[in-house]
Amino acid sequence: MSLDRILLGILRKPASGYDIKQQFEKVFRHFWSADLAQIYRALAKLEKEGLLERRTEPSARGPDRKVYTRTAAGSERLREWLAEGPVFGTEKFTYLAQAFFLAEAAPEERIAFYEALRERLMEQHATLAAIEQNWRQSGGADFPANLDEADFHSYLTLDMGVQKTRALVEWADASLARIHARTRKRN
Amino acid sequence: MSLDRILLGILRKPASGYDIKQQFEKVFRHFWSADLAQIYRALAKLEKEGLLERRTEPSARGPDRKVYTRTAAGSERLREWLAEGPVFGTEKFTYLAQAFFLAEAAPEERIAFYEALRERLMEQHATLAAIEQNWRQSGGADFPANLDEADFHSYLTLDMGVQKTRALVEWADASLARIHARTRKRN
DNA sequence: TGTACCTATATGCGAAATCCTATAAAAAGC
DNA sequence: GCTTTTTATAGGATTTCGCATATAGGTACA
A20-61: pLDDT as tens digits? 999 888 888 888 888 899 999 999 999 999 999 999 988 887
Q: What is the pLDDT of residues B77-123, one digit of tens each?
A: 999 999 999 998 878 889 999 999 999 999 999 999 999 999 999 99
Q: Say how far apart CA B39 and CA B44 lie, in whole Å.
A: 9
Q: What is the pLDDT of residues A148-187, one digit of tens each?
A: 999 999 999 999 999 999 999 999 999 999 999 998 776 5
**Under 8 Å between Cβ of B21 and B36:** yes
Closest CA to B121 of A89, A156, A95: A89
Average pLDDT, chain A: 92
Give, in Å, how far the C1' of C26 lies from the CA of A64: 8
Q: Which residues of A147-163 are buried (b: 16+ CB within 10 A; e: fewer)?
A: beebebbbbbbbbbbbb
Give, in Å, how far the C1' of D15 lies from the CA of A143: 44
pLDDT higher than 90, residue B170: yes
Residue B61, nucleotide of least CA–C1' distance: D25
Q: What value does the mean pLDDT take over residues B4-28? A: 92
Of the pLDDT bands very low, low, confident and very high (cuts 50, 70, 90), residue B153 is: very high
Strand C–CB B34 distance below 7 A: no
Give, in Å, how far the C1' of C13 lies from the CA of A69: 37
Residues forming beta bridges with residue B54, ordered by sequence position: B68
**Under 8 Å between Cβ of A1 and B94:** no
pLDDT higher than 70, residue B187: no
Q: Say how far apart CA A76 and CA A74 lie, in whole Å.
A: 5
Q: List bases in chain D with any atom under 7 Å of a protein Cβ.
A: 5-11, 14-20, 22-26
Closest-CA distance of chain B to residue A133, Å: 17
Q: List bases in chain C with any atom under 7 Å of a protein Cβ.
A: 7-14, 16-22, 24-28
User: What are the phi and psi torsion angles at A52 (to 5°)?
Assistant: -130, 155
Q: How many CB contacts within 8 angstroms connect chain A with chain B?
A: 220
Q: What is the pLDDT of residues A58-96, one digit of tens each?
A: 888 778 899 999 999 999 999 999 999 999 887 888 999
Closest CA to B27 of B168, B153, B131, B152: B131
Of the pLDDT bands very low, low, confident and very high (cuts 50, 70, 90), residue B48 is: very high
Of the pLDDT bands very low, low, confident and very high (cuts 50, 70, 90), residue B140 is: confident
* Rg, C-alpha atoms of chain B: 21
**Under 8 Å between Cβ of B91 and A33:** yes
Q: State the pLDDT at residue A186.
A: 64
pLDDT higher than 70, residue B56: yes
Q: Say how far apart CA A39 and CA A157 lie, in whole Å.
A: 22
Chain centroid to CA A138: 23
Q: What is the pLDDT of residues A127-148, one digit of tens each?
A: 899 999 999 998 888 899 999 9
Strand C–CB B18 distance below 7 A: yes
Q: Say how far apart CA A141 and CA A85 lie, in whole Å.
A: 32
A window 146-175: Cβ near strand C (< 7 A): none
